[in-house]
């Protein structure tokens, strides 16, 4: 921490106590006159915002715009996904409709084959019955011929009288046997045909039943797929609705922030204008107060210093005394003239003029001097109020004007002087943040070199960022 050096304190003069009392009264009077002005600053600060707060609002607005862009990108993706999912659902629904139709047709065919199989089985049963019936009749006729002693086919053949008779008999027997065989063959063929038809119908029925099972399995699978697709589509629509709601809310927030920024900038501009006007008023008041103090300090000096009229009067009195002394000597002069003695000339003593004392530095004077540079240039590392300063350079140069040597580093300034609470802060105190500092001017306001964008400005003290309040004078 840099040391604080001050000029040599002058010796106290006899009139200094009275002058100090006059100055104190004058300062109190000036403060009373400045109370309404300070209240005006407090009123402005009660609704105004700092540039940092405006920048914070702008940063929030930028973040919202970025989030809006991301949400809009997501909405665009969801819209494409929704269209794709809707198309897939439409295709699946068409496939379901086709499968349903195929299932219905296959079921109808299975039912028809079932009916045909039943009819064929019935026909087969009848054919078998007819075949068995004729065969039973044939067998019964043969048994009757044998039981009744009727001539059998062999007896007829062997009973022929000659070869011609044999041929005739053989032809007859052949005709009868052929008829019986034809009848039996016809019945057998009919039965086999019905049996084959039945088997074919059963096979077709089984094929359709298998096809129906496959169609039903496919139908169940595609129904499950369609349900999943519908659920996915609904989820996409829900997400899009949620994002759309969020985007609408962000749009409303963006509009509110934009309005807040406009309001904040207007309030900040009003604050800066009021602060600048107040700085001018305080500067004039300080100059008037300084002039008043000078006049009050010179008043006792003028009373102690002899006037020109008094000096002339003393000179005339000396001349008169000299003349009177000369006349007296002439009257008392003896007859014998004595040697004349020259009177010793006494040097004229002038009253010692008191040396004016150096007025004590007040925090108000520091604050008033600092406000002279409102609108000045900010230069990082700068230490010249005319060409540009940074925040610590500004504080250092202002106090350097009053004979104080302070370090050119904000963190070091936080350890200079003595610490006071913000509630007891007075004009001239150093307001310290982490990495920033300024000079308190009263009414919750400070003058500081804020940055290259703003220069030297007056703004409200941000108590949330406050780290220290240091008093130098």
Q: Please state which CATH class domain 2-6+17-47+363-473 belongs to.
A: alpha beta
Domain with CATH 1.10.287 in the chain: 67-252
How many Cβ atoms are within 10 Å of 453's Cβ, its own excluded? 8
Q: Using alpha carbons only, what angle is made at residue 166 by residues 165 and 172, rounded to the nearest 5 degrees?
A: 90
- The alpha carbon of residue 312 and the mean position of all alpha carbons in its chain are separated, in whole angstroms, by 86
Q: In this predicted structure, what is the pLDDT of residue 155?
A: 66
20: left (phi over 0), alpha (psi -120 to 50) or beta: alpha
Average pLDDT for consecutive 10-residue bins of the chain (473 residues)? Answer: 42 47 46 40 44 83 90 91 93 92 90 87 82 78 63 63 69 71 78 86 89 91 93 93 90 83 77 73 77 79 57 55 49 43 46 44 94 94 95 97 95 95 96 95 94 92 94 95
Buried b / exposed e along 104-142 (16+ C-beta atoms within 10 A): eebeebbeebeebbeebbebbeebbeebeebeeeeeeee
Q: 376: closest CA among 386, 367, 361, 368?
A: 386
Buried b / exposed e along 226-239 (16+ C-beta atoms within 10 A): beebbebbeebeeb
Q: In this predicted structure, what is the pLDDT of residue 192?
A: 84
- Say which CATH topology domain 67-252 has: Helix Hairpins (1.10.287)
The model carries a pTM of 0.39
How far is 242 from 386, CA to CA, in rounded Å?
A: 58
Q: In this predicted structure, what is the pLDDT of residue 47?
A: 40
Phi, psi (5° rounding) for residue 335? -65, -40
Distances (CA, A) of 96 to 176, 219, 458: 66, 7, 76
Q: In this predicted structure, what is the pLDDT of residue 349?
A: 45
Domain with CATH 3.90.1720.10 in the chain: 2-6+17-47+363-473
Q: In this predicted structure, what is the pLDDT of residue 23?
A: 52
> Side-chain half-sphere of 289: how many Cα atoms within 13 Å?
24
């Amino acid at each position: 921490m840099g040391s604080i050096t001050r000029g040599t304190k002058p010796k106290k003069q006899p009139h200094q106590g009275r002058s100090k009392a006059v100055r104190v009264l004058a300062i109190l009077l000036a403060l009373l006159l400045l109370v309404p002005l300070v209240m005006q600053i407090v009123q402005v600060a009660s609704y105004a915002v700092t540039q940092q707060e405006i920048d914070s609002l702008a940063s929030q607005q930028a973040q919202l715009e970025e989030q809006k862009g991301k949400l809009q990108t997501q909405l665009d993706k969801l819209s494409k996904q929704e269209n794709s999912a809707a198309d897939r659902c439409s295709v699946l629904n068409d496939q379901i409709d086709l499968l349903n139709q195929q299932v219905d047709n296959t079921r109808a065919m299975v039912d028809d084959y079932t009916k045909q199989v039943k009819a064929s089985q019935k026909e087969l049963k009848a054919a078998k019955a007819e075949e068995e019936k004729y065969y039973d009749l044939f067998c019964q006729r043969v048994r009757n011929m044998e039981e009744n002693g009727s001539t059998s086919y062999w007896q007829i053949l062997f009973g022929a009288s000659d070869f011609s008779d044999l041929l005739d008999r053989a032809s007859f027997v052949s005709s009868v046997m052929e008829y019986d065989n034809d009848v039996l063959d016809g019945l057998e063929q009919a039965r086999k045909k019905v049996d084959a038809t039945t088997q074919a119908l059963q096979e077709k029925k089984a094929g359709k039943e298998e096809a129906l099972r496959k169609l039903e399995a496919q139908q169940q699978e595609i129904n499950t797929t369609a349900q999943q697709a519908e659920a996915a589509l609904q989820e996409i629509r829900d997400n899009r609705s949620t994002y759309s709601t969020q985007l609408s809310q962000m749009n409303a927030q963006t509009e509110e922030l934009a309005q807040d920024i406009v309001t904040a900038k207007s309030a900040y501009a009003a604050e800066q204008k009021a602060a600048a006007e107040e700085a001018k008023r305080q500067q004039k008041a300080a100059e008037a107060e300084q002039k008043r103090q000078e006049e009050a300090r010179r008043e006792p000096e003028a009373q102690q210093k002899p006037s020109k009229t008094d000096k002339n009067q003393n000179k005339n009195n000396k001349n008169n005394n000299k003349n009177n002394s000369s006349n007296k000597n002439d009257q008392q002069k003896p007859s014998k003239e004595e040697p004349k003695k020259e009177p010793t000339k006494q040097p004229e003593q002038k009253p010692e003029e008191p040396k004016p004392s150096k007025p004590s530095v007040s925090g108000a004077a520091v604050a008033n001097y600092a406000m002279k540079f409102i609108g000045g240039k900010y230069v990082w590392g700068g230490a010249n109020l005319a060409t540009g300063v940074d925040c610590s350079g500004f504080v250092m140069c202002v106090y350097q004007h009053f004979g104080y040597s302070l370090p050119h580093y904000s963190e070091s300034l936080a350890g200079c002087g003595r610490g006071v609470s913000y509630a007891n802060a007075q004009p001239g105190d150093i307001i310290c943040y982490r990495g920033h500092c300024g000079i308190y001017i009263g009414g919750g306001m400070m003058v500081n070199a804020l940055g290259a964008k703003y220069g030297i400005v007056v703004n409200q003290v941000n108590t949330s960022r406050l780290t220290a309040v240091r008093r130098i004078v």
